[in-house]
Amino acid sequence: MDRSSRPPAIELVAIDMDGTLLDPAHRLTPRVKQAITRAREQGVRIVLTSGRPVSGLAPFLDELGINGSEDYCIACNGGLVTRVATGEVVVEYPLSFDDFLFCEQVARELGVHFQALDGERLYTPNQDISIYTVADCHLSRVPLSYRSVRDMDPEMSFIKLMMVDEPHILDAIIPQLPAALTERFAVLKSAAFFLEVFDQRAGKGPSLQKLAEHLGIDRAQVMAIGDQENDLSMLQYAGTSVAMGNAVDAVKAAALHQTATNSEEGVALAIERFVLSDEKDR
């Protein structure tokens, strides 16, 4: 390929976590770690983007060495963007207690489990706590509390709200979501059993755009890799978009490229192809 015809070099790679960066056992494989290390040694910024809160990203940020003063992460589906070393907030879109009350009522009327994250703790008003809520607090590394609605502090604010249930139950209620909810909030599935509700201004794509602008990086120099509906907006923003082999159909349709699955180290293959390859043959 003629050097003059090459696309702009990638300067930032935004990588989803679950189903993308991590293998099915929620671990980083040696090849993925090596590819990320080599990219960072070339000056490429690696930004982990997730529906998890920062606490759920922290162990992997540390394992990858992405914990310096110039490192950033996108948490809570873009509801929060922070500088890793200092916790400095670059972007934040909190939800109010009124938002919590409204969404909890919708979930209750639809008969699905509900949970709310304030950044430090996960709350559920369901006495029969969902197994997916328990799993989420484990992955997110936050404590879990049962609180009836009347026992919640009305001064609280939240980073995201979630309807949580068996996949077939969530799929059945999605067409029943009232317009008052879908017009007021962004509503996306981040996994088969998680329906996330967050500020309309948030999302991985809008927050990735704000971070890139903050860093002075053009979208043509951004690559994004993901697998679920909540990754769509960042794939649509990035100049180079890559769907995992295990991605949902909507993500595969939206992405310009496709890599292998997360059990086949698809992230490493994508970085090797688009970032580390001298030819950058696309």
* Burial of residue 260 (number of CB atoms within 10 Å: 0-12, 13-18, 19+): middle
The Cβ of residue 245 has, within 10 Å, a number of other Cβ atoms equal to: 15
Out of 2, 16, 98, 278, the active site residue is 16
Q: Is the dihedral of CA 244, 249, 251, 252 positive or negative?
A: positive
CA dist., res. 211 & res. 219, Å (int):
11
Task: Determine contact, residues 164/130, Cβ cutoff 8 Å.
Answer: yes
What is the residue type of 157? S
Q: In the structure encoding, which two tokens stand for residue 139, read together?
A: 């992955």
* Burial of residue 2 (number of CB atoms within 10 Å: 0-12, 13-18, 19+): exposed
> Over the range 142-180, which residues count as b (16 or more CB within 10 Å of their CB) and which as e?
bebeeeeeeebeeebebbbbbbbbeeebbeebeeebeee
Task: Determine contact, residues 57/48, Cβ cutoff 8 Å.
Answer: yes
Active site residue 249: no
Residues in the chain: 282
Indicate which residues carry an active-site annotation. Answer: 16
